Structure 1
Amino acid sequence: MNNHGAQKLAGKIAVVTGGSSGIGLATAKRFVEEGAHVVITGRREKELKEAAAFIKTNVTAVVGDVSRLEDLDRLYAVVKEKHGHIDILFANAGAGTVAPLEVATEAHFDQTFDVNVKGTFFTVQKALPLFKDGGSIIVTSSVTNVLGTPGFSAYAASKAAVRNFVRAWTMELKDRQIRVNCVSPGPTETGALQKTAGLTADQAKQAAAEYALQIPMGRWGKPEEIAAAVVFLASDESSFITGIDLPVDGGLAQV
């Protein structure tokens, strides 16, 4: 809970994609604690309902896949009907599976780019008519946007693409005083490694422990630690910050 006096996002309307788990869920919960009303979306209805129950208050859940434009239209129709406008958008939905170059399939490539690149592009485009001038857009990239990560080349390239969207959109939206930034998590304890990488629980645990040795802080990040950075970028605390990539990675890509 925020114990530092006034809530940072009092009365704001926020939309979070990929809001049913991990970083999206942790951030949506923080947004509500900071006084915002949040609309979360995600593909999995059961998990999305559980996420809304976990957040408890000031939350609306809309099932949808960001790579399907009709789902985005439905999401924003709900936002418009319920709230009339948007102040904060956290375009966070992402997909990533391990696929070495030699064996990667077209389906792997297409899914990665459909969700991470096309999905992010149209999530932001379709939000604009509802956006209040002076709002804040935050996109989830990844420290892989600057690292060579074997087995993750399509994913890393997709995250470099959204980092560049942030640069262009900063310029395109500056006359509306809409700030656009990205946050780049390092390895984060979201359960995604086990779910999407096709590893057994033991393999995932071992891989995580090995990866932690490469991180200067010696551990993985927690979703709440990424959420704190997103709250900063969403709030007036970052009023003179736009176009940046804020790594929250325990130093992984910094040294």
Structure 2
Amino acid sequence: MNLSNKVAVVTGGNSGIGYATAKELISQGARVIITGRRKEAIERAAQELGAIPFVADQSKLEDIHTLYEAVQGQFGQVDILFINAGITGENTLIAEATEANFDSVMDINFKGAYFTLSKFTPLLKDGASVVFLSSIVASTHQPKSSVYQASKAAVNSVAKTAAAELAPRKIRVNTVSPGPTKTAVLNKLNDDATAQHIWDHLSTLVPLKKVGIPEDVAKLVAYLCQDAASFITGADFVIDGGITI
């Protein structure tokens, strides 16, 4: 119970890495608020986890403010902030980019993440831990992924600046950058057989010959929130099975 009585906020906590991390934090004793855009999904996840649900869209500053007020009113301070919510957007070449896709990805992945930290900074307890979910794409340059890659590179930059700004309060800010991690994202775009084929192919590209699972990332995030990681800040932790070696 390394996080006993800690208050944690996890954005995008109704599925995938956010859900797994909320579950891990709760297992270590934390009280966890999870957010999501869909009321039914976030309430179902909260019931399964034993978390506190809150309907909020990270791309909307008014939702971030409402979340801030609710957490402040109920808990006063926050020990752990996991800024996880994000989308990949459309796969298009730069020459074929649309403003709608650019705005959608940046509003959630960058602007929303940025202002979540900005708004919650006064609520963070001295010695708190902030973790951004980034991605290995922040330092790769694959065609048809320019907007998503740029959004994560921006997050990495902001996290380092925040680590410097918040160090006097002993607040640590780090990023976690997964590689191929088996969430439901492919199943939403493909039938189950096709999705499994893609995962199987990805596993052949990873030196460890497997793809990650959300629980792998969750354990790393939880570690960064423990006292054992009290000397770690401004760092990016790649968890990709060696695919970027």
What TM bracket, shorter-length normalisation? over 0.9
1:30-109 alignment runs, 5 A limit: 30-56=24-50, 59-101=51-93, 102-109=95-102
**2:203 equivalent to 1:212:** yes
Task: Show the counterpart of 1:194.
Answer: 187
Gaps (5+ residues) in structure 1?
A: 1-6
d(CA) in 2 for partners of 1:62, 1:98: 27
Q: Could you report, residue by residue, the CA deviation over 1:137-192 in whole angstroms, capped at 9, with x for unpaired residues?
A: 00000011112222212111111110111110011111111000000011111111
Task: Show the counterpart of 1:4.
Answer: none
Q: Could you report, residue by residue, the CA deviation over 1:89-108 in whole angstroms, capped at 9, with x for unpaired residues?
A: 00000011342214332111
What is the aligned counterpart of 2:217 among 216, 226, 246? 226
> Deviation at 1:60?
1.1
1:136-215 alignment runs, 5 A limit: 136-195=129-188, 198-215=189-206
Return the TM-score normalized by structure 2.
0.96
d(CA) in 2 for partners of 1:217, 1:191: 21
CA contact (8 A) 2:89 2:104 kept: no
> SS where residue 213 of structure 1 aligns?
helix
d(CA) in 2 for partners of 1:96, 1:200: 19
Return the TM-score normalized by structure 1.
0.92
> SS where residue 174 of structure 1 aligns?
helix
Gaps (5+ residues) in structure 2?
A: none
Q: Could you report, residue by residue, the CA deviation over 1:47-95 in whole angstroms, capped at 9, with x for unpaired residues?
A: 1011101112xx2111010110110111111111111110110000001
Query: Aligned residues: percent identity?
Result: 44
d(CA) in 2 for partners of 1:193, 1:157: 21
> SS where residue 65 of structure 1 aligns?
coil
d(CA) in 1 for partners of 2:192, 2:145: 20
d(CA) in 2 for partners of 1:98, 1:252: 23
CA contact (8 A) 2:182 2:199 kept: no
What is the aligned counterpart of 2:227 among 233, 236, 243? 236
Task: Show the counterpart of 1:120.
Answer: 113
> Deviation at 1:242?
0.3
d(CA) in 2 for partners of 1:104, 1:21: 28
d(CA) in 2 for partners of 1:222, 1:191: 11
d(CA) in 2 for partners of 1:107, 1:97: 10
1:243-254 alignment runs, 5 A limit: 243-253=234-244
1:9-28 alignment runs, 5 A limit: 9-28=3-22
